[in-house]
Structures are given as C-alpha cells and as structure tokens.
Amino acid sequence: MIVLLDTNFLLVPHQHKVDVFSEIERLVPETHTLATLATVVEELKGLSGTSTKDKVAAKVALALIKHKGIRVLPAEGEADDSILEFAKANETLVATNDRELKRRLKPYVSGAICMRGRSHLERI
C-alpha cells in the first residue's frame, strides 16, 4: 500500500509540531511506502519562495521529503487532481487535511489520514 502525502499534510510537522511519520507508523500497521507526487513537490517549492506564513513550513517539508526518503512519483497538472488520478489507479491511503480533496477521494480510496485536535493523526 502507498501512503500518499498531500501538500498541506507535509506542512503539519512545522505548523503543528506533530511527528506525522511516527503517527503514520502507528495508524498503518500493514506494509506501506510513503510517497508524494511531483506536483506536490512543485507546490511546496512555490510556497517556499513566497512571503507567506507557509514559507518556512514548505522548506521544512521539502527537507523532510529528502531526509525521510519519501518517494516522489511522476505526475502532471494540479496537485489535487493528480492525487485523485493516482488514487483511482492504485491502492492508496491519502494523507491530507483538505476537506474538499477527501470528499473527492471518498469513492476511490479505502480511507484517509488527517489531523485530529492539532495534536495527533486519525485514520478515517
């Protein structure tokens, strides 16, 4: 199984000080691979070059992708659309806090991982 990390989910470690990687290990006992899409990486690169509050979180996210050995899978287009297309074609558990994306994914995935109470993650 692939646990696919969305942009906003990769911002969580810096923004909320939650170790999403140990939380994923707790929530996903089955064999899995952590991955994200090239479109997500591009979105993070764009955020890291802005003057928004997400700038530092995006830089931390990009460093974590390298440090944690998260696979970056090829994809094109808009990040949410590419996540949806990937999930339709693969056994995927999507890690996201995006309410609209979770709604769009519901018919295609067996569940999702999201933040609960700003302190931990939940598998829904």
pLDDT one-digit tens code per residue, 24-65: 999 999 999 999 999 999 999 999 998 888 999 999 999 999
Whether residue 22 has pLDDT greater than 80: yes
So what's the pLDDT on residue 111? Answer: 84
Spatial distance between the Cα atoms of 78 and 64, rounded to a whole number of angstroms: 22
Pull the structure tokens for residue 8: 């906003």
Contact present, 94 and 101 (Cβ < 8 Å): yes
Domain holding 100, by residue range, is 2-123
If you search the block for the tokens 């810096």, which residue do you land on?
Answer: 14
Q: Which CATH number characterizes residue 80's domain?
A: 3.40.50.1010
Per-residue pLDDT, 31: 94
The DSSP code for 118 is T
The residues, any chain, with a CB within 8 Å of residue 79's CB and separated by 6 or more, are 6, 7, 37, 39, 40, 42, 43
Q: How many residues does the chain have?
A: 124
Model confidence over 86-113: pLDDT tens digits?
999 998 999 999 999 999 999 988 789 9
CA distance 81 to 58: 20
Domain count, the chain: 1
